[in-house]
Structure 1
Amino acid sequence: MAYDLVTISRKVSLKRNRNDWKGEEITRLADNGTRVMVAIIKGRQTITRITGVNKTSVLFVSISFIVLMVISLAWLVFYYIQRFRYIHAKDRLSKRLCCAAKKALSKIPTKSLKTDDREVQGDGECCAICIEPYKVSETLRSLPCGHNFHKNCIDPWLLEHRTCPMCKMDILKYYGFVVSYISTI
């Protein structure tokens, strides 16, 4: 342990521990006219630790952060699994509906127009999709609701929408095709 040597002018030498002397005492002695000699001896070097940091607080914050990250990762994985399942269920349903629409489409009658058909006569009937008047030798598709359309116009519509564009009659229900809309999510 390092000691400080203090010599007072009365030729008295005191050896005291460096922690025992305070700066105010030395100042008071010097103010009183006492000659004060202080020898400062280099002691061992210590690394000062940051005080005021509670190890429990650091541990609590670290554990809380880790738990938060684990919960966030679990939620993210759950979200993407649900999204993946929803997209694939939607695709499967779309494929089933398209297959059912193709089957129903094959059951809907078509007819080729002749000169004496009422659609070609002068009352001006036209296809509601392309808004073109019907002409002789064109192929029409007659839906069960009674509406007529060009075959080339209505077929893509029915494959996509599965309903009459005029009255919204569902061709799948009419022809008895039941496709469950309940997904397995």
Structure 2
Amino acid sequence: MQQRLFLLMIFIKHQSVESQKIPNSYGIVDLVFTYTRGKTFDFIKIPIATNLIQRSNANNAFILQLDQIKIALYNVKRITCTEFPGSSGPCPENFLSVYILFQHYTFKTHLIFKMEGDSSSLTRLLLNLSSITTRNNGVLNLTCSMQDSYAVQYNNKPKESFGAKLSATSLVGVIFLCSCVVLVFISSVVWFATICYQRFTRNRMEKKHRIALEKSTQQMLDKSPIITYDANSEDNNFTDKEPTCAICLESFKSKEKLRKIVCEHYFHVTCIDPWLLSHQSCPLCNRNILLNAIPSISSHIVLTDNEQTENPTAPVMNNATNDT
């Protein structure tokens, strides 16, 4: 039992040591620094393997300000040092760090490069270059390159267009949906235009019929007699002692003008004329005054007993003439 506990403790300790080596590692990235001494072919290459980790795990770092030349290749414009948390500045002579922070590159992702293996040569080079006063327009003749796959994935990943994301099936679905929307829109416009045209035609026809009826009614009124009422005359045909107008419900007075229509009923002229122009029927018996009076109108008027019973005050005319 003690032996098993001893082996378990060794395993746990080993795992903790391994986890401390690369805390929160995001992968291994191979960097290659190239320093040109002045001549074109006099240069030094320093390859270094790094682990990409969280910046919060580092207490200090070299800060390299980069200027991208092309994918996976950068020009180092300035080298400073920093201790977290704090601001960056010139590197002290005894500054030691295994961390590299790319100012152009890793600030966006909050990641930092941790140098693995022997990094003394690169550390000395970075310290020497950081102490050099900016000259030659700030060019340090130091470049840094990394593996293309990492640079493309995290730095200059091309943006995919919307069309590239759509498969053939999705594209067909989008086209079909757009076609349906356009078809529904066109159908709605056609339906609305048809309804408006039918309403316009119906209103126009009703207006023509109304004008024709008003003209025919006016012709009938011009032919109907107008009398002056005399209450003391013996020639009165009224059966009531005090005849009244069925429209205004007022008794006829002497010297008032009355109109006699075809059904032998009497009304005030000022009352019956507007009524007949609107209704073309007697207010008492509901008889149409145009029936059998004017051939051009009466031939298009049809009255039934049922219609008269249902609406005694407004006669129903199914059709009126188009030509008066």
Give the TM-score normalised by the residue count of structure 1.
Answer: 0.69
Q: Which amino acid aligns with 1:145?
A: C
Is 91-100 or 117-126 further displaced after alignment?
117-126
- Give the Å deviation of 1:144: 1.7
> CA–CA distance in 2 between the matches of 1:164 and 1:87?
26
CA contact (8 A) 1:162 1:170 kept: yes
What are the within-5 Å matches in structure 2 for residues 21-170 of structure 1?
41-43=150-152, 45-48=157-160, 50=165, 54-114=170-230, 115-116=232-233, 117-118=235-236, 123-170=241-288
- Whichever of the two has the greater Rg, that structure is 2
Q: What is the alpha-carbon root mean square deviation over aligned residues?
A: 3.0
Q: Write the mapping of 1:7-26 to structure 2, written as runs, cut at 5 A.
A: none
The number of aligned residues is: 151
Provide the secondary structure at the position in 1 that maps to 2:189.
Answer: helix
What are the superposed Cα offsets for residues 47-73 of structure 1, whole Å, 9 maximum, x if unpaired? 345466711100100111111111111
- Alpha-carbon distance change, 77 to 178 in structure 1, aligned in 2, over 3 angstroms: same
Matched to 2:177, the amino acid is V
Greater shift in the superposed pair: 75-84 or 39-48: 39-48
Q: Structure 1 171/120 Cα, relative in aligned 2: closer, same or farther at 3 Å?
A: closer
Query: Aligned pair in 2 of structure 1 residues 119, 182: CA closer, same or farther (>3 Å)?
Result: closer
> How far apart in 1 are the matches of 2:195 and 2:185?
15
Question: Which structure 1 residue ranges, 4+ long, deviate > 2 Å from structure 2?
Answer: 46-53, 117-122, 176-184
Scaled by the length of structure 2, the TM-score of the pair is 0.41
- Deviation string 1:62-93 (CA, Å, 9 cap, x unpaired) is 11111111111111111111111111111111
Give, in whole Å, the separation in 1 of the partners of 2:225 and 2:247: 18
Q: Give the Å deviation of 1:103.
A: 0.5
Provide closer, same or farther for how the CA distance between residues 56 and 119 of structure 1 changes in structure 2, counting only shifts above 3 A. same
Change (3 A) 1:150 1:91: same
Report the Cα offset of residue 171 of structure 1.
0.6
Which residue identity lines up with residue 56 of structure 1 in the other structure?
V
Write the distance in 1 (CA, Å) between the matches of 2:275 and 2:223.
Answer: 16
- How many percent of aligned residue pairs carry the same amino acid? 25
Unaligned runs of 5+ in 1: 7-35
Q: How far did 1:129 drift?
A: 1.1
Verify the 8 A CA contact 1:119 1:125 in the aligned structure 2: no
Q: Give SS of 1:170's match.
A: coil
